[in-house]
Each structure stands twice: as structure tokens, then as C-alpha cells.
Structure 1
Amino acid sequence: MEIEDGSGVQDLQPRTSLGAPSDKSTMVGLDDELIQILEWLERDSSRLDTLSIVGMAGIGKTTFARKVYDHQRIQMTFHIRVWVTVSQNSNERKIVLDLLDSMKKLTDEMHKETSDLKQVLYQNLKGWRYLIIMDDIWDTEVWNDIRCLFPEDWKRSRIMLTTRLESVAVHVNSHALHCMRFLNDDESWNLFSEKAFGARINDDESWNLLCKKVFGEDCCPHELNQIGTEIAKNCRGLPLAIVLIGGLLSNSTKTQSYWEYVVKNLSSVITSNDDQCKKIMDLSYDNLPHHLKVCFLYMGIFPEDYEIPVSQLVKLWIAEGFIEPVTSKSLEDVAEEYLLNLVERSLILVSKRSSKGKTKMCKIHDLLRELCVREARKESFFHVTDRSLNGLPTDISTSHVTNKSLHDLPTNFISLHRVSIHPNTEIKFVHAESLPTSTVRSVLNFDPMLHLSVEFLNSRLLRVLALNSFDIPTETLKLVNLRYLACVSGPREFLSSLYKLRNLQTLILSCTDLSFHLPLEIWRMRQLRHVHLYMVNLPDPPKAGVEEEHCLTILEDLQTLSTVINFRCTEDILRRIPNLKKLGILYVDIRVDWSDYHLNNLARLQNLEALKCLFDVPYPPFLQNLTFPTSLKKLTLRGCFLPWKDITIVGSLPNLQVLKLKRNAFNGLVWEPKEEQFLQLTFLLLVENNLEEWKANHIHFPKLQHLILFNCRRLIEIPRGIGDIPTLQKIVLFYSNDSLVTSAKNIYEEQCDSGNEVLQIHIVEMTHDEIQEYWAPSKFVLWK
């Protein structure tokens, strides 16, 4: 291979392979990703370019990079290959020394020099086509310091970095970033069987051969195959976990009972048997600033494999006092920045995004959760238990000391601040216990079968109380410092006196009594930020002339109010909630004079960003002249029965990004949008309507990204021009007729022929019962 540049200097055949780590790690799967990276490194661009491999600890970034580094195509492409591992404490001089050492250019004299080392490195790279792999970079400043060390000779040289921090990758090159994925179940099993048994087991024949090799003529324990499959699956696709547990089991007694124990205690088995795993995981935690450490540790308070609603997580962080106030930003905005930072550090996984593209649900890998629980126990940050209260410090769960002072308590008694109660299916009975301590600050109960007694409610320090229970004691009203309360039902005495919780910020409440109204004093709770109600009526505030203090109360911090039954949008009510961002309202009242609800006043909510307006009544006539605030970004309508011609009211909203038109939101056979509307719309959902003809093209929805059609059985086709929207990424059809499916497939084929490789089409078939369950009114759940 000879490539000549403008100077007449010729590149040579590959001359060396330098500095790769000698220990080889097995890589299973990711073949398609490997080919993509090889093609990127070999592409024709002459300039020096960079590529970052990003992912959480243990996901296989280094192994993947080594696979690239050692690949024959790379050896034939690059004249110089250099590998350097960058530690957290690396500085410019150390990195230069390591690079020269990897290139076999480091002499004893160079260790003493200070000024010429960078020049030596530069000269040894200049004129050659080189590949530099910098493994495990933690800081953008490191890259800023060393970027000038690599010559730009237009030789198609490349630099590849691995990092846990997305911010580092974006800083280096935001256009060349590869995010490592988790292994799927088949890939996990292949890697596990190779490590645990010494061979990949893909079928019964390979299993039988392995049994003869490992167990000789003895009876082959086929149960290990099934249990091993479950173990591999429970590693959640993390190569580090699979390799470590596979290696552990390869040297252990291969008995069914032991392997079943491993299945149930996977994370703790791994971390208790491998110090290297602890070091790898701890490194991510140790690198966090203090304000993120507490937020990250808090993730361990949730059960394993729990999908955590971000909206609830943010509220809990705020109630716990973890969020530091920032001028000109709300606490919620700061908390979401914290979350994004943890996601970018590969510590929190995004499991579901909202229709606006924001993180809606998140998770944490089991190994990282084990780290959180271990560190939390060490720091007495929180304790995890089950309905038997096992796992709590002994003197805490057995002592009753409500009459003692804090100075009289044992040290570890005082340290009991947060308790998380998880379900335990092995305990077949409901064991109601108490938490008799005056120091507890948070109780989060995830076990719907457990009914806690009330002795722990003596703690005036309690800030967070999430009781998945139908028996809310009146003693709760003594908790004057409570910030977060999530509960189901409760006696009227409790509900009628909620206003006594004067510091409450978040209220999540469900009630089975449809006639119940919250007390008028709810309008005096100035600290309220988020109110989520299910089947609860919100009363009108006191009218003018009752008491001046009542009349002037403004809930300035209230941002969320949902879902309120038969909400009256009078001027007096709306002026008390001027900063409301999210509003959910449901109308179930069948009456003649609908004007009493004053929905046209909704436009007065100048800061409203999300509105859900649902009607379970036939043909509400007053909606013909409905107006919405121009600040709306997300709108959900159901049961309005508006004619399609009135959708211009919605289409003219200048900031609308998400529109969900559920069952009979609009009524009519033909929808013909107008131009210069829906200019910012990115997400459109249509559910159950009588629409037959939709006359639209790319002009009507210029920024649409996602189109979801659910049970639109009468719609003949998707307008062909929808496929020409340049931003369109996905069309999803649920329970659709044949002609609608055909039109979607035609759009896909046309776009493929024109070179559009982005568009995806998903056809989902569901039975009628499945649809009814899918779109049934959501049941009240504390966390979701």
C-alpha cells in the first residue's frame, strides 16, 4: 500500500504494533458495531479525527477498543498504533511519558527531561499515519492539554478515546460518539457459558459434549444449563458482571443448590467475591462531586430492576434537601440537571423517554445499585428492609425509645435516617411492624401488602412519607416538617386536616370516595409545588369578603395540579396559581350550564406548559370557542367532540410540540390542516376517532418526528406527503386496518428508494381486550 501526499513523501507498509495491553479479554457480540467503527477509522477523510467510545463501568469499552486495536484491518491501515491508559490523576507529562513508552521511544534520560518530551513525541508521529487509543479519560482538561501533541499531516490519522463521561466525548467531538450497548440475552449466554464452562453452548449437542468434558461419565446436571441461562440474563447485559460471575462459577462446586443461591443474590455475590469489580464501580462513585453523590446513593433506595419515574425522583430529591438552589432556576430544573449529569456519567440508565424526548423513566444497573446500598449502609444514609424489618440495626427495630432524648440513644440508633421497605414474596403474611424512632427522616414503602403501624410517626424530623397503604393514620398530621406525602385513601379526619402539614411540597393522594372534597384550607398551603390527585375534588377557594388572609393567598410555587375533577377555571382560582406549569382536569359532571366551568379562562395561565383536558360526558357544547395559553408545549384532549375545522385553535399555538388527541377529541370524517400551523409539533398521537380522510403533507407538519395512530380503524391511509417530512423518524400503528398498514409500508418503501434510512415503521397488533386495558384510565400508583 502506497499513498502519496503533496510533498512527495510516501507512507510505508505497516511497520509496528506498539503498546497494546498483553492481556486479552473475550468480546462476544457487537459485530455490527465493530464493523461500523472499522469503517469510520478507515474512511477517506484525510484530516486527523477523533472518535469516543462511551458507556458505564464494566460495559466493555476497553475490551471493544482492544478488539479494534488488534484487528487485522487496523494493522494493515495504520503505520503506528499506540495504546495508553489515562488514569484519573494523569497530567500532561505523565501522558507524554506513557505515549513514548508505548512507542518504545522512552529512554532513561527522558525521565529527567522536562521541555523536549513533547517535541520528541510530535516528531515520532509526524509524517506517519497513526492510531492513538486513549483508554479511560475522565477530564476535558486532559484532552485540552494533549490535543496539540498530535500532528495534523492530513494522513488520515485517528484518535480513539474511551470514557464513562458523555460530556468528555461531546467536548472532544460531538459528531463522532459511539455509545456502548448492553448485551442481549443470547450474547450474555454465550459469554457466560464460555467463562463458566469453557465453551459456548448453543444447542443440546454442545451441552452434551461439555457435560462429558466437565463431568465425565457422571450424570450431567442439565439444571445448571437452565439456571445458568437465568444467571446470564440477570446480569442485565453487563459484560463485567457476566465475566466475573462466570469465572467464579467455573471454579466453584457445580451444584444446583449453589447456583440457585447465586441467582437470588447475584450482585452481592459478585461484589463480595471480586475486589476488582468493587474498584471499577467505586471509581465512578468516587469521582462524583458531593452534591451528586447523595443523589446517586439515593437510587439504591428503590428495589432491584425498578423503573423509576423521573418526576417522582426529582420531587423526592427536593424534599430530602439534596438540591442546591440556583438563582433564576427552579429547584426542579436544577434537579433535572443533576439527573442529566448522572446519565452523562453512565451511572443512571434511561429506560423510557417522554414524547418530548426528555427522560421519563430511569433505572440503575444491579451492580451500581449494590454499590449504593453498600455505601449507604456504611454512611448510615439509608437502610433497606422488607416487611419483617430485617436488615435494620438490631437495637433500632426492637427498641421503643419514644420517651428518650437523642443523647440517650445508641449511636447507630441516631443514624437511622431513611428506611426503604421492599416487597418480599417469600414472606406469605402481612407483618405489620413499627419503626419506633424519633430520628427517622424518610419512610418509603414499596410493599402494597404491608400496613405499618404508627409509632414511627413520632419523628418530627420526618420529611418523606410514601405509604402504599389504605390506612393513613391521623398521627400523620403531627409531622409538621413533612415535605413529601404519597398515600392511598385515608379517614375523612385525616383528609380534612391536610392543611396542618404546612411545609408540604408534594401531595400524591387517592380517595375512593368520589363525593369527597379537599378542605378549603388547601389554598393556604403556600409551600405546595406538586399536587397529584386521583378521584379527589378540589374546592373553590374562599370568596372575597370571608377573611382577607384567605383571599390574598397566592400559591406561587405550585407547578403541578392533576388530575382534578370538575375543575372551575374562574379568575379567582387561576390568579392564585399564576406559575402553574402542568394541569390535568377531568369532567364527569352532566349538567346544562357548562359555562360555570369557565374553560375559556385557561388562556390566563401564562406559564402553563402541559395541559391534559379529559371529558367523560357526551358532547360538551361550550368547547366551540375554547382558547388555550400560547405557552403550551404539550396538549392532551379526550372526549371534546370538536369538529376538525376547530383544530386551528390548537394548530395556531406557537410553542406546541406534543399533541395527543385521544378518544373522540375531534369528530368528523375529514381533516384538512391549514398551512402555517403546527410549526413546532414533533409528536402527534391520534386515538380512536371516526376520521376517514386525512388531507395533509410535509408542509402542514414541518418538524414532525413521531406519528402514532391507535385504533383509527376508519382512516383509509396516511397521507403520502407525510413521508416527505425531513424530520420524520417513526410511524407506529396500533390495531389498524389493512389499507392503513399498506399506506405506511408504501411510505417506507418510497423513503428507502430516495435514500432515507432514518424512518422506522412499527405495526403493532392487539386484541380488543388488550386495547381496552392499554387505554383504560390509569390506576393510582404512588410511584408511577
Structure 2
Amino acid sequence: MRLYGDKSKCPFDHPLEMSEKMLQRCGGVPLAILTMASLLDDKAREDWSKVYDSIGFEHRKNQVVDNTRKILLFSYYDLPYYLRPCLLYLSIYPEDYTIYKDTLIWKWVGEGFIEEEQGIGQYELGERYFSELVNRSMIQPVWGSYGSCFLIGCRVHDLVLDMICLLSNEENFVRVWDVNDQRISYQINARRLAIQRRVLEKDDYLANMCTQQLRSFSVTQCDVHVMPSLSSFEALRVLDMEDCSSIADGIYHLGHLGSLIHLRFLGLRNMPIDKLPEEIGNLKFLQTLDLESTGIEELPQSFGLLRQLKCLHFKVREVTVGMHLLGNLTSLEKLLLVFDTWSPEFVAELGKLTMLRNLNLFSFDGRVLNDNQMKALVKSLVKLQKIEVLGIDFLYSVSIGHQDWEGYVPPRQLRELSLRTESNILPAWISPSLIPKVTSLSLMLKEVKARDMEILGSFPELITLWLSDQGFGNSQDFLPDVVGELFPKLRYFCTPAPLRFLQGAMPSLESLEYTYLQVNQLKRDRIFVFEFGSWENLHSLQKVKATIRPDAAHENEAVVALELVANQHPNRPNLTVNIW
């Protein structure tokens, strides 16, 4: 399955005897089987026996774990040179930790693991590296929502983590100080130090550690009230403190931050920090600044000096303080902002960020954009012609009509679009002729007409579709029937209301989700009107999830109806029902 995708596609010249020998040595361990298959995937069949001999398997039956380790070690040395440091770098994370792809790639960039190539951005190249490690089964993928269609991160299998920690230690690549270590040498030869899940003692042990040579300092899930002075790091390129707390005065202060003149990555996610010092402007080479889930609410004037910044994550109550400097950051490729109120300066500055590839704006304040603000936003978006990922999420706060998007023509390379506003109709620019490469759409509309469904179903590369109305499924007529020959590649579909799938509709659909079904509105003449019987036309269906707004008198009936249709489907899809 790993080699050919399907058993029916196995070629006639598949080396069956050698496969069986390898499977026997894998001992039924899934990690060993997947890694071995991934290892053989790009090897000529005549070389399989050489691979088998090179690994040096133990021949005793009780050596399954040792054999797995040898497969993993052989797979590591089979990696291209550029992937080895990327994999070893994962030893900075604790066991069973979810490593987010976006953060990891920007760290790789900051460490210098990803060299620039003409015509290819460093982040894009990092995505290729990440996918290659997944394809080689060296890391385990973590899928996001949307029915497991999008890769958001990874975890490292215990045996793989053991191996890369051992290799990292031997090569002085990373030194890890975790909860199992009582002490660590004052003199560290490695260029990278990672501290994991520790309560640091008040003995200045860490403060006295020699850190001049460190290029990377990572602290994960620790108490940080005793830390080395930032002035002691003379060559630091990556400083990442994530999911940490403080039991001292409750706030961690970034004293001497301006001395880290070589810094490329500064990650402060979920940290007890309420102020960014003015001296951050000294960090001329800073590429990534992650301030998500901190107490920081304003940016200093020197923020505008970060001309090399490529990625910014920031949550702020008002997009006013410091945002008039945003237009100075002309190297920005990714911008994620969560805010409560707008400012005219911010909207104007946004249009200056012409290198943006990924833009996500979130607001949950319940206010409505006026016509001038909306026109200003569209005017700025028109200038961002490199955008590949665009998210405008003003949930329940902005009423946007067709005329509000007048003059907007999206870039053809747009891949992901999330437009969650109170829109009356489908904007004309959401069309397969204008944005043919779209793979993900998330839309909030008051009604979806048959013509809209035809347009959405004509996107040739669409994999996920998330539709919602403003009434949590109040309208029985929200969606028309889904006819055949539409949505050829769609794998995940989320809808707020029942609908019928006609013969040939959504041939690739694997995951179907219903949000906020109103039980009392699913009754007509005391009979449940569930169009779930049309599931039989979804030949690839594997998962169904339904969230029901309860009606005490009929709640069980709804659940039973769902279970009955799921059991009658030839694939017997996995069914999850939640009561909202």
C-alpha cells in the first residue's frame, strides 16, 4: 500500500520473496514497515537485496526493536544532506509534543538550514523538506480540521526521537536538558540548548552556564523565573520560549533583548510577557516574531525598524498602537493579526506589504465595518498580488454585499480562502476562471443558490469546502441539491443544513460534517426530513460528524436516524454525533 497506493496496482514484477523477508524482519511493527517501505520507494527493485544486507538485521526472533532501530538508522543515513539537520533539530521538542509546521519551518530558516534558491522562497522550500520527512515516515503527520486534508504539524515517534537525540548528542548538534536530568555541565559544546518541562531551581545554575557559543536556545513548558541574562548570548540566532510560566512576579521581562543582534527567530507564544522593549529595533536581522497568546498589547516605535521581518503573529485589542509602522515591514510574507477594533492607518499600511503570501485577519468585536473602511480594505488587498492564503474572519461583525468587493481581482495563485463575514451572496471574484488553484474554501453566506453550488463545484483543485449561514442551520432551503460531475476532488465538506447528493456528486468525498442541525426544524408532518439517504451516492465516504441543537422530545430520534443511515451505507462510515 505504501509503495503503490493500492494492492490492485502492485506490478507483476514486484519482488515478493524479498518483500516477505523484509516484512519478517519488521516483526509486525507499523513504524518499521512504513519506514522500510518509504526507504524502498525510490530504490530500484534490483537494489532491494543490497538495502536488506546493508541494514544488518538481527536474526533472532526477539530482536524486533533492534531491527526497527536499524531500519530507522539506515533511513537516517539515506536522507539527503539537507534533510539531516532538519530532522535532528526535532530533538529540541519533548516526547509526544505537537510540533506546528509553520513555526518549525521558520525556525529552520532562522537556523540557516534552508538555503535560498532562485524563484523559490525559503518557506516554500521548507514545506518541501517537511513533506519529504513525512513521506519518508521519519515524522508522523498531524492533520488539522477539514477532515484530515491539511497538514498542520507533526509528532516524532518515541523510537525516532530516541535515535535523533542520540545522534544529536554524539554530533554536539543539540544538548537537551529535560526533567530526567539532574544537572548539566556548565560548559556546553553543542551550539543548541533545549530545556524541556523543568522547574528551574533558584541556585543560579543555569544563570552561570557558558552560553556564548549558543546559536539556538529553546525553552518548552518550563518555569522561567531563573534564566540566563539575554546579554550572555553572543551568537544567538533562535530564541524560542513556548508554553512557559513564571512563579516569581508573574511577568517575564525581556531585559537586554537588544543585545541579540544576530537573532533571526523570536518566539514568545503563550508566555507571561506584557511588554516588548524599545530595543527590539536593534534586531536588524529578525525574520520571525511570534507574539501570539501573550499579554503584549502595543508595539514600540522601534518596531518599524525590523525591515527583514518575514513572519508576524500578533494578538492585540486595538489595531492602532504601532500599526502605523506596519508599512515599513516590506519583507513580510506572513501576517496573522487578531484584534478588536480597526484603524484607518492600519488599513492603509496593509497595502504596502506587497510581499505577503499569507494574510489572516481575525476580529470578534461585534462591530460593523462602514463603507469607507470596506473600500479601503479592498483597495489595499488589490495591491497584494502575491497572496496565496487569505483569511478574512470578522465573524458576525461585518455585513458585506456584492458591491463591496467592486474592483477586486484576486491573484491567480490563491490556494486557500476563508471569507467568514455576513455576506449576502457569493462575490463574483470567487470563480474557477479567476482563482483556478484554490484547494480550500471557507465561506459564510446567507443562502447558497443552485448557481452558486455549480460555481463552487467547478473548482478543479478544491479539496475542502466549509459553508455556513448566520443562523446555525435555520434555513431548510440554505443549500440546493448537489448534482453529478461537480466537486471532482473534494474530500471534506461541511454544511449547516441537510441536502441531497445526486448520482455522481462529490466522487472523492471522504468526510462529511453537519454543523448545528436544528432538530425541531428537521420535522415535517412528524417525520424526520433527513436527506441522509442520499449518502449512498457518496461512494468514497468514510467519516460523518453531526452537531445537533437539541430538542428534548426528538433528540434520540435524530441520533437513531443518523446511525441507521450510516449502518446502511456500504462503507459503514465512522459516525460522530455531538449535542450542542
Q: How does 1:287-306 map to 2 (within 5 A)?
A: 287-306=78-97
- Return the letter of the residue paired with 1:506: T
User: Deviations 1:290-344 (Å, cap 9, x if unpaired)?
Assistant: 3221111112211111221111111111111111222211111221222222223
- Return the letter of the residue paired with 1:62: L
Corresponding residue of 1:747: 534
Distance 1:299 1:691 in 2: 48
Distance 1:600 1:572 in 2: 10
Distance 1:305 1:726 in 2: 36
- The CA deviation at 1:529 is 1.0
Corresponding residue of 1:573: 349
Corresponding residue of 2:129: 338
Corresponding residue of 1:93: none
Q: How does 1:59-208 map to 2 (within 5 A)?
A: 61-63=22-24, 140=42, 142-143=44-45, 146=46
Corresponding residue of 1:3: none
Q: Give the 3-state SS of the residue equivalent to 1:625 in structure 2.
A: helix
Distance 2:239 2:311 in 1: 15
Q: Does structure 1 conserve the Cα–Cα contact (< 8 Å) formed by 2:385 and 2:410?
A: yes
Corresponding residue of 2:386: 607
Distance 2:330 2:372 in 1: 27
- Return the letter of the residue paired with 1:636: S
Corresponding residue of 1:50: 14
Corresponding residue of 2:71: 280
Q: Does structure 1 conserve the Cα–Cα contact (< 8 Å) formed by 2:292 and 2:315?
A: yes
Q: Does structure 2 conserve the Cα–Cα contact (< 8 Å) formed by 1:431 and 1:450?
A: no
- The CA deviation at 1:500 is 2.2
Corresponding residue of 1:78: none
Question: Which residue of the other structure, out of 479, 491, 494, is the alignment partner of 1:706?
Answer: 491
User: Deviations 1:707-764 (Å, cap 9, x if unpaired)?
Assistant: 4436x3xx3x21323862333333233553565997463122244xxxx3x2234134
- The CA deviation at 1:279 is 3.4
C-alpha spacing 1:593/1:702, structure 2 compared with 1 (3 Å): closer
Corresponding residue of 1:732: 513
Distance 1:491 1:509 in 2: 10
Q: Does structure 2 conserve the Cα–Cα contact (< 8 Å) formed by 1:729 and 1:759?
A: yes
Corresponding residue of 2:335: 561
Q: Give the 3-state SS of the residue equivalent to 2:266 in structure 1.
A: strand
Distance 1:52 1:444 in 2: 47
Q: Does structure 1 conserve the Cα–Cα contact (< 8 Å) formed by 2:299 and 2:321?
A: no
Q: Give the 3-state SS of the residue equivalent to 2:95 in structure 1.
A: coil
Q: Does structure 2 conserve the Cα–Cα contact (< 8 Å) formed by 1:745 and 1:761?
A: no
Distance 2:37 2:393 in 1: 53
Unmatched runs of 5 consecutive residues or more in structure 2: 29-35, 245-250, 551-577
- Return the letter of the residue paired with 2:354: P
- Return the letter of the residue paired with 1:363: R
Distance 1:372 1:534 in 2: 35
Corresponding residue of 2:263: 482
Distance 2:321 2:38 in 1: 59
C-alpha spacing 1:692/1:522, structure 2 compared with 1 (3 Å): farther
Question: Which residue of the other structure, out of 272, 277, 280, is the alignment partner of 1:498?
Answer: 280
Corresponding residue of 1:584: 360
Corresponding residue of 1:327: 118
- Return the letter of the residue paired with 2:314: L
Q: How does 1:763-782 map to 2 (within 5 A)?
A: 763-764=545-546
- Return the letter of the residue paired with 1:650: I
User: Deviations 1:690-709 (Å, cap 9, x if unpaired)?
Assistant: 44211142369433513443
Distance 2:145 2:452 in 1: 25
- Return the letter of the residue paired with 2:373: D
Question: Which residue of the other structure, out of 507, 528, 542, is the alignment partner of 2:289?
Answer: 507
User: Deviations 1:636-679 (Å, cap 9, x if unpaired)?
Assistant: 233x2221x34444346523321123xxx323596752644553
Aligned residues: 504
Q: Does structure 2 conserve the Cα–Cα contact (< 8 Å) formed by 1:733 and 1:764?
A: yes
User: Deviations 1:575-617 (Å, cap 9, x if unpaired)?
Assistant: 4311201111134374784523612222321111112212256
Q: Does structure 2 conserve the Cα–Cα contact (< 8 Å) formed by 1:723 and 1:748?
A: no
Q: Does structure 2 conserve the Cα–Cα contact (< 8 Å) formed by 1:654 and 1:678?
A: no
C-alpha spacing 1:593/1:432, structure 2 compared with 1 (3 Å): farther
Which structure has the greater CA radius of gyration?
Answer: 1
Distance 2:206 2:21 in 1: 45
Identity of aligned residues (%): 21
- Corresponding position: 1:416 with 2:190: yes
Q: Give the 3-state SS of the residue equivalent to 1:600 in structure 2.
A: helix
Question: Which residue of the other structure, out of 300, 305, 315, is the alignment partner of 1:524?
Answer: 305
Distance 1:54 1:742 in 2: 56
- The CA deviation at 1:286 is 2.1
Unmatched runs of 5 consecutive residues or more in structure 1: 1-29, 42-46, 68-133, 148-159, 165-239, 249-269, 397-412, 544-549, 769-773, 777-784
- Corresponding position: 1:595 with 2:372: yes
C-alpha spacing 1:695/1:372, structure 2 compared with 1 (3 Å): same
Distance 1:491 1:526 in 2: 23
- Return the letter of the residue paired with 1:499: G
C-alpha spacing 1:599/1:591, structure 2 compared with 1 (3 Å): same
C-alpha spacing 1:449/1:691, structure 2 compared with 1 (3 Å): farther
Q: Does structure 2 conserve the Cα–Cα contact (< 8 Å) formed by 1:567 and 1:585?
A: no
- The CA deviation at 1:536 is 5.8
Higher helix share: 1
Distance 2:510 2:273 in 1: 46
- Corresponding position: 1:650 with 2:433: no
Corresponding residue of 2:558: none
Q: How does 1:303-702 map to 2 (within 5 A)?
A: 303-352=94-143, 355=146, 357-386=149-178, 390=182, 392=184, 394-396=185-187, 413=188, 415-423=189-197, 434-435=206-207, 436=209, 437-455=211-229, 457-468=231-242, 469=244, 470-487=251-268, 488=271, 490-492=273-275, 494-510=276-292, 516-535=297-316, 537-539=318-320, 555-565=329-339, 566=342, 568=344, 572-587=348-363, 588=365, 590=367, 593=370, 595-596=372-373, 598-601=376-379, 602-615=381-394, 618-620=397-399, 624-626=403-405, 627=408, 629-631=410-412, 632-638=414-420, 640-643=421-424, 645-651=425-431, 653-655=434-436, 656-661=438-443, 665-668=444-447, 673=452, 675-677=454-456, 679-680=458-459, 681-687=462-468, 688-693=472-477, 694-698=479-483, 701-702=486-487
Distance 1:64 1:513 in 2: 53
Q: Give the 3-state SS of the residue equivalent to 1:384 in structure 2.
A: strand
- The CA deviation at 1:162 is 11
Q: Give the 3-state SS of the residue equivalent to 1:650 in structure 2.
A: coil
Taking only aligned residues, the RMSD between alpha carbons, in angstroms, comes to 4.5
- Return the letter of the residue paired with 1:332: Y
Q: Does structure 1 conserve the Cα–Cα contact (< 8 Å) formed by 2:230 and 2:256?
A: no
Q: Does structure 2 conserve the Cα–Cα contact (< 8 Å) formed by 1:720 and 1:743?
A: no
C-alpha spacing 1:309/1:389, structure 2 compared with 1 (3 Å): same
- The CA deviation at 1:444 is 1.4
Q: Which range is displaced more, 481-490 or 295-304?
A: 481-490
Q: Does structure 2 conserve the Cα–Cα contact (< 8 Å) formed by 1:519 and 1:539?
A: no
Q: Does structure 2 conserve the Cα–Cα contact (< 8 Å) formed by 1:62 and 1:162?
A: no
- The CA deviation at 1:531 is 0.5
C-alpha spacing 1:163/1:416, structure 2 compared with 1 (3 Å): closer
Distance 1:736 1:430 in 2: 55
Q: Give the 3-state SS of the residue equivalent to 2:186 in structure 1.
A: helix
- The CA deviation at 1:462 is 1.0
C-alpha spacing 1:525/1:539, structure 2 compared with 1 (3 Å): farther
Q: Does structure 2 conserve the Cα–Cα contact (< 8 Å) formed by 1:438 and 1:456?
A: no
Q: Give the 3-state SS of the residue equivalent to 2:119 in structure 1.
A: coil
